[in-house]
Amino acid sequence: MSLFFNTTVSGIQLGLCYAIVAFGMYIAYSILDFPDLSTDGTFPLGGVIGTILLYRAGVHPIIALMGGFVAGSVFGALTGILHVKFKISKLLSGIIVMTALLSITLALTTLLTQTEYTVSNYSYIAHGINGLFNKGVNKTNPYLVIVILLALVIVIKILLDLFFKSKAGMMLIATGNNETLITSLGKDVGFYKILGLSIANGLVGFAGALYAQMTMNYDNTSGTGKVVLALASVIIGLAIFSKAKFVKPTTAVIVGALIYALALNYFTLVDKNGTYLKLMNAVAFALILIINNLVKKQRIKKKKISPKTPTNIDDQVMNILSLPDKQETIEDVPVTEEAQS
């Protein structure tokens, strides 16, 4: 019973941390329809940058988290630039940045040692580093960790919800829905793609720095599988609340991350040696995709949309632009709950 309880507590902690990664994937994949594989690279990048700031500069842990956000944003923008400016495909742009970050993050670890050798693991406790969760102590209270994580997740969720209601946020959503519409409004589609990927990977970098402080250890391989994890969290959350229009997508993503993280933790109870963990993760993810596709097909069959009723933000904008005597701009168009998803 104690083992199950501890596994659950640990799963909740990881789920809250991964919810921030899922926020980034929601922006990249669900809004921009961009399969961003650079997530696997910007996660450890945020971790190493945050650790360097704590170790070398002695900054406050929150500043270290923001350092992870900035670092992730820079390389997220780079992914967008490769795609928008150099016409490299979405998939390859993410792969290029992710591959480059494997070397960059490893090279940055030389700043964590006195000998200038690279390291793959770096213990906070062994080097006397105090993070957000162990300020002045060497043992972390698991319930305090959950409270702090929950507070951070709620703050980020509120900020994202406010952003999606702003002009820039609405344009970002419309970019994912209909690029032609944005072009017809005289806006730069590429700018909003780069902006979205920058914010998305900034959140991933923030989560990477947070993960390092939570585990009190930086692991250079910590980014492995984060794309799958974040994508599964988004799919699960949005599928569960697909009919609950009052639930915001950001809330759904948090729930999805918690469910998936708990499931991954419970797998360790089944396979204590860890031999088949990756296999179970792969099977679980495949089942999630299959079920999600089946649900989508059923929904398409049952859905009957009236041509007079706009169903998303680009429909609303097009209807407004088609009215000759009503001059409204994109700022005047209300964001529906379906548009946010």
Interacting residues of 161 by C-beta distance below 8 A, sequence separation 6+? 248, 250
pLDDT at site 302: 75
Q: Are 230 and 94 in contact (CB under 8 A)?
A: no
pLDDT digits (tens, 9 = 90+) for 64-80: 999 999 999 999 999 99
Per the CB < 8 A criterion, the answer to whether 44 and 222 are in contact is yes
The answer on pLDDT for 61 being more than 60 is yes
Please state whether the predicted TM-score (pTM) of the whole model is above 0.95. Answer: no
Alpha-helical (H) ranges within the chain are 2-25, 39-52, 61-84, 90-108, 142-165, 167-177, 179-184, 189-215, 226-240, 249-270, 277-302, 313-321, 337-340
pLDDT at residue 273, rounded to an integer: 87
Return the minimum-mean-pLDDT range out of 32-46, 71-85, 312-326.
312-326
pLDDT digit string, tens, across residues 217-258: 999 999 999 999 999 999 999 999 988 889 999 999 999 999
**pLDDT score, position 321:** 40
Q: How far is CA 261 from CA 218, 226, 236, in A?
A: 20, 11, 11
pLDDT at 333 exceeding the cut of 80: no
- How confident is the model at residue 295, as a pLDDT? 84
CA angle 97, 61, 250 (to 5 degrees): 60
What is the per-residue pLDDT for 145? 92
Cα 296 from Cα 301, distance rounded (Å):
9
Every domain of the chain and the residues it spans = 2-340
| pLDDT in the model for residue 312 | 55
Query: For the segment 112-142, what is each residue's pLDDT rounded down to a tens digit?
Result: 998 889 999 999 999 989 899 886 544 568 8
High-pLDDT (> 90) share of the chain, %: 73
Percentage of residues in the chain having pLDDT higher than 70: 87
CATH of domain 2-340: 1.10.3470
* 217 strand-pairing partners: 123
Q: Which residues of 267-303 are buried (b: 16+ CB within 10 A; e: fewer)?
A: bbeeeeeeeeeeebbeeebeebeeebeeeeeeeeeee
pLDDT (mean) for 20-49: 97
Reported as a pLDDT band with limits 50, 70 and 90, residue 331 is: very low
Using only C-alpha atoms, the chain has a radius of gyration, in whole angstroms, of 21
Q: What was the pLDDT predicted at 299? A: 79
pLDDT of residue 326: 38
